[in-house]
Amino acid sequence: MEIKRPYLLFLGDVKDSLAAKTGLGIVDWRRDWCLGQYRLPGCMADAKIDDLSIAEAAEMGAKTMVIGVVNAGGVLPDHWIDSIVDAIKAGLDIASGLHMRLGDVPAIRDAAERHGARLHDVRHSTMSFATGKGTRRPGRRLLTVGTDCSVGKKYSALALEAEMRSRGMNAEFRATGQTGVFISGRGVALDAVVADFISGAAEWLTPENQPDHWDVVEGQGSLFHPSFAGVTLGLLHGAQPDAFVVCHEPTRTTMRGVGHPLPTIGQVIDLTRACGRLTNPDIRCVGICINTAALIEEDEARALLSETAEEYELPVTDPVRFGVAPIVDHLRMEFPV
Amino acid sequence: MEIKRPYLLFLGDVKDSLAAKTGLGIVDWRRDWCLGQYRLPGCMADAKIDDLSIAEAAEMGAKTMVIGVVNAGGVLPDHWIDSIVDAIKAGLDIASGLHMRLGDVPAIRDAAERHGARLHDVRHSTMSFATGKGTRRPGRRLLTVGTDCSVGKKYSALALEAEMRSRGMNAEFRATGQTGVFISGRGVALDAVVADFISGAAEWLTPENQPDHWDVVEGQGSLFHPSFAGVTLGLLHGAQPDAFVVCHEPTRTTMRGVGHPLPTIGQVIDLTRACGRLTNPDIRCVGICINTAALIEEDEARALLSETAEEYELPVTDPVRFGVAPIVDHLRMEFPV
pLDDT digits (tens, 9 = 90+) for A22-34: 999 999 999 999 9
**Kind of pairing, strands A170-174 and A284-290?**
unpaired
Of B135, B229, B237, the CB nearest to A259: B135
CB contact under 8 A, B228 and A196: yes
- Which residues of chain A lie closer than 8 angstroms to B257, CB-CB? 131, 133
B295 vs chain A: nearest CA distance in angstroms? 29
Of B135, B195, B231, the CB nearest to A191: B195
- The CA–CA distances, whole Å, from A246 to A33, A266, B137 equal 29, 9, 31
- Please report the pLDDT score of residue B98 as a whole number: 87
Q: Are A228 and B193 inside 8 Å of each other by CB?
A: no
The predicted structure's pLDDT at residue B125? 73
Average pLDDT, chain B: 95
CA distance to partner chain A, nearest, from residue B226 (Å): 5
B223 interaction partners in chain A (CB closer than 8 Å): 233, 275
The SS3 call for residue A190 is helix
What value does the mean pLDDT take over residues B20-39?
A: 95
The domains located in chain A, with CATH, are 7-121 (3.40.50.720), 140-334 (3.40.50.300)
Q: Which of A278, A280, A283 to mutate to test the interface with B (most CBs of B within 10 A)?
A: A278
Res. B75 pLDDT band, cuts 50 70 90: confident
| pLDDT reading at B306 higher than 70 | yes
Residue-wise pLDDT for A50-89, tens only, equals 999 999 999 999 999 999 998 767 789 999 999 999 999 9
Asked if B92 and B8 count as a contact pair (C-beta separation under 8 A), the reply is yes
Q: Does A242 have pLDDT greater than 70? A: yes
* pLDDT the model gives residue B127: 77
pLDDT, tens digit, 9 for 90 and up, residues A272-317:
999 999 999 999 999 999 999 999 999 999 999 999 999 999 999 9
Interchain CB distance below 8 Å, B191 and A190:
no
- Structure confidence at residue B155 as a pLDDT band (50, 70, 90): very high
Task: Name the nearest CA neighbour of B240 among B283, B270, B201.
Answer: B283
Pairwise CB contact (< 8 Å): B223 & A191: no
Residue of chain A whose Cα is closest to the Cα of B238:
A226
Contact B215, B209 (CB under 8 A): yes
Give the chain B residue whose CA is nearest to the CA of A263. B278
Q: What was the pLDDT predicted at B331? A: 98
A190-221 burial, b at 16+ Cβ within 10 Å, e below that, comes to: bbbbbbbbbbbbbbbbbeebeeeebbbbbbbb
Q: With a cut of 90, say whether residue B45 has pLDDT above it.
A: yes
**A298 Cα to chain B: minimum distance (Å):** 35
Q: In what order do the strands lie in the sheet with A316-317?
A: A170-174, A213-217, A140-146, A243-248, A284-290, A316-317
Answer yes or no: do A195 and B231 touch at CB < 8 A: yes
C-alpha angle A238-A241-A242 in degrees, rounded to nearest 5: 150
Q: How far is A3 from chain B (nearest CA, A)?
A: 23
Partners of B274 on chain A (C-beta within 8 Å) are 271, 274
Does residue B72 surpass a pLDDT of 80? no
User: What is the rounded CA–CA span in Å between residue B195 and residue A192?
Assistant: 6
Least confident of A109-118, A123-132, A133-142, B148-157: A123-132
* Helix, coil or strand: residue B101: coil
Residues of A in contact with B278 (CB under 8 A): 224, 226, 229, 260
Asked if A229's CB is within 8 angstroms of B237's CB, the reply is yes
User: Residue B74's pLDDT band (boundaries 50, 70, 90)?
Assistant: confident
Chain A neighbors of B204, CB-CB under 8 A: none
- Beta-carbon pairs below 8 A across chains A and B: 133
Asked whether the beta carbons of A181 and A189 are under 8 A apart, the reply is: yes
Pairing of strands B243-248, B140-146: parallel
Residues of B in contact with A259 (CB under 8 A): 134-135
Q: Which of A190, A238, A274 sits opposite B271 (nearest CB)?
A: A274
- Cβ contact (<8 Å) for A223 and B275? yes
How close is the nearest chain B Cα to the Cα of A195, in Å?
4
Are the C-beta atoms of residues A50 and A36 closer than 8 Å to each other?
A: yes
Q: Do A237 and B258 touch (CB under 8 A)?
A: no
Q: What is the mean pLDDT of residues B162-176?
A: 97
- pLDDT reported for residue A178: 87
pLDDT of amino acid B124:
82
Q: Which residue of chain B has the CA closest to A279?
A: B226
Query: Is the Cβ pair B195, A199 closer than 8 Å?
Result: no
pLDDT above 70: residue A1: no
In the predicted structure, residue B1 carries a pLDDT above the cut 70: no
State residue B330's pLDDT score.
98
